[in-house]
Amino acid sequence: MKIIVADRTDPSGSSSIEQIRRWHRDLTGGPIIGLVPTMGALHEGHRSLLRQARQECDQVALTIFVNPTQFSPDEDLETYPRSLDQDLQVARQEGVDLVWVGDRDELYPAGFSTRIDVPMMAQQLCGISRPDFFAGVCLIVLKLFHIFEPERAYFGEKDYQQLKIIQQMTRDLDIPIDVRGCPLVRESDGLALSSRNLYLDDAARQQALTLSGTLFKARELWIQGLTHSAEVCQQALEQLDPAVELDYFEVIDREHLTPLEKIDPERGAVICMAALVDGVRLIDNIILETR
């Protein structure tokens, strides 16, 4: 009989949870599965997730499901872009092994009643104007993790707050999955790729370009030596088209998402923003690397 007591370190220095994982791994085994959860309407950003998964895993699973629990009643659940045939084509091109198209009634049957949340990180930034969003994201991601039991899961840094909340949930719940973030992908003119860009007409698209414009400016200011967040934000936001309705523009800690008054050159930061452009809610962010 093997006995593991958590406050006694084993000879290899592993924590007791690591010891159990090893015990478990020795009992089973198998190929490395990479999961890429999406809501479909796949674009170049999703392709970059699939490519990274393809490079790093034996099996790549793609899920397509427009998850109702992360939409508020006034949001675009019913009109969210759907393009299954094109998505399957993308999946084939990227060498996906399994595509799963989810179904609301199967995932949320009558009587469903479990809730999950990471309140400290979710009640800020996007969580203020979208109070149900992250609880809904955590719920579907946790379900997908249990359904696929992947070794790795891939999310875009485009949804920075979402990525960090999922990583926190995964750590807190001891989920044996490596949640990997992939760099945000932009159009050549700087617009962050988003399925919701399909909603933009030409004029709105021009306005939307000023979102990334503010972020590039902010990074420039940071590189030039500015460290006070208020100054960086104020000067950067001069780039924003006046027709754009800003939701938030915040300099925050890269891991904990806490607002930063001043940026520590040795820690860097991330600037996250959200705005309404001609009625379409867009988000974007930029990482301020250490300097």
Q: Give the active site residues.
A: 46
**From residue 280, how far is each of 82, 246, 260 by CA, in Å?**
17, 11, 28
How far apart, in whole angstroms, are the C-alpha atoms of residue 71 and residue 85?
24
The residue among 128 and 230 lying less far from a second copy, judged by its C-beta, is: 128
Taking CB under 8 A as the rule, does residue 88 contact a second copy?
yes
Q: Which residues ranging from 15 to 54 are in contact with a second copy (CB under 8 A)?
A: 15-17, 20-21, 23-24, 27-31, 33
Q: Please count the residues of this chain forming the interface with a second copy, following the rule CB under 8 A.
A: 60
In eight-state DSSP terms, residue 204 is: H
How far apart, in whole angstroms, are the C-alpha atoms of residue 192 and residue 209?
9
Distance of closest approach, residue 146 Cβ to a second copy, in angstroms:
4
Distance of closest approach, residue 209 Cβ to a second copy, in angstroms:
36
How far apart, in whole angstroms, are the C-alpha atoms of residue 73 and residue 98?
32
Taking CB under 8 A as the rule, does residue 3 contact a second copy?
yes
5, 12, 74, 225: residue in contact with a second copy (rule CB under 8 A): 5
**From residue 224, how far is each of 123, 190, 220, 232 by CA, in Å?**
32, 21, 6, 11
Distance of closest approach, residue 134 Cβ to a second copy, in angstroms:
11
The residue among 14 and 206 lying less far from a second copy, judged by its C-beta, is: 14
**From residue 22, how far is each of 17, 26, 164 by CA, in Å?**
9, 6, 26
The residue among 148 and 160 lying less far from a second copy, judged by its C-beta, is: 148
Taking CB under 8 A as the rule, does residue 119 contact a second copy?
yes
Taking CB under 8 A as the rule, does residue 10 contact a second copy?
no
Distance of closest approach, residue 248 Cβ to a second copy, in angstroms:
21
Both structure tokens of 255: 């891991």
How far apart, in whole angstroms, are the C-alpha atoms of residue 269 and residue 64?
32
- For the four alpha carbons of 87, 89, 94 and 100, in that order, the dihedral sign comes to positive
By CB under 8 A, which span of 38-46, 99-107, 203-211, 222-230 interacts with a second copy?
Answer: 99-107
Taking CB under 8 A as the rule, does residue 79 contact a second copy?
no
Closest to 149 in 3D by CA, of 18, 28, 255: 28
Both structure tokens of 105: 């009634």
Query: Quick check: 282 and 272 in contact, CB under 8 A?
Result: no
Both structure tokens of 268: 């860097």
Taking CB under 8 A as the rule, does residue 241 contact a second copy?
no
Both structure tokens of 114: 């479990």
Distance of CA 198 to the CA centre of its chain: 20
128, 173, 243, 246: residue in contact with a second copy (rule CB under 8 A): 173
Q: Which residues ranging from 139 to 168 are in contact with a second copy (CB under 8 A)?
A: 142-143, 146-149, 168
Taking CB under 8 A as the rule, does residue 237 contact a second copy?
no
In eight-state DSSP terms, residue 216 is: H
The residue among 112 and 289 lying less far from a second copy, judged by its C-beta, is: 112
Taking CB under 8 A as the rule, does residue 13 contact a second copy?
no
Contacts of 73 (CB under 8 A, 6+ apart): none
74, 78, 106, 266: residue in contact with a second copy (rule CB under 8 A): 106
Which parts of this chain interact with a second copy (CB under 8 A)? 1-7, 15-17, 20-21, 23-24, 27-31, 33, 59, 88, 91-92, 96-103, 106-107, 111-121, 138, 142-143, 146-149, 168-169, 172-176, 256
